[in-house]
Amino acid sequence: MNSHDLITIDPEILGGTPVFRGTRVPVKTLFEYLENDYSLEEFLECFPSVSRELACQVLERSEHALLSPAA
């Protein structure tokens, strides 16, 4: 699964803000919740249109992108 399967960037959806695929929930919102000491559970409760699987895949992909050595 690539990042295009996880995130949508479309000028017609929130002005091109990256959102979880199939939703209008900005990906940035997940990181803001976590940065402010909310749990993944709390995020998912507030944004039920985002599945646990999708949120976890975005987090895993972000971790991989940040921690992998540059190619």
Give the tens place of pLDDT for each residue, 3-14. 678 999 999 999
Interacting residues of 7 by C-beta distance below 8 A, sequence separation 6+: 18, 19, 20, 21, 27, 58
In this prediction, residue 50 carries a pLDDT of 98
- Give how many domains the chain has, as a whole number: 1
CATH number of the domain that residue 7 is part of: 1.10.10.10
pLDDT in tens, 13-36: 999 999 999 999 999 999 999 999
Structural domain for 31, as ranges: 3-67
3-state secondary structure of 8: strand
